[in-house]
């Protein structure tokens, strides 16, 4: 899974909730990787 930043307008304030939601089923290192390494690999 890759972290996304596709919320716009009034919904943008909820963007960081994705980290909290992911932490329920991913380790802290997996959450961080999804927003950095995994996202970078997706875009080569």
In degrees, rounded to 5, the angle at the alpha carbon of residue 24 between the alpha carbons of residues 27 and 22 is 75
The pLDDT > 70 percentage for the chain reads: 100
| 28 pLDDT tier (thresholds 50, 70, 90) | very high
pLDDT for residue 25: 93
Higher pLDDT, 7 or 19: 19
Contact 3, 43 (CB under 8 A): no
Mean pLDDT of 4-27: 84
Contact 19, 1 (CB under 8 A): no
Higher pLDDT, 31 or 5: 31
pTM of the model: 0.65
């Amino acid at each position: 899974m890759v972290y996304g930043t596709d919320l716009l307008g009034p919904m943008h304030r909820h963007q960081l909730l994705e980290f909290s939601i992911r932490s329920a089923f991913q380790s802290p290192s997996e959450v961080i990787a999804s927003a950095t390494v995994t996202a970078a690999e997706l875009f080569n």
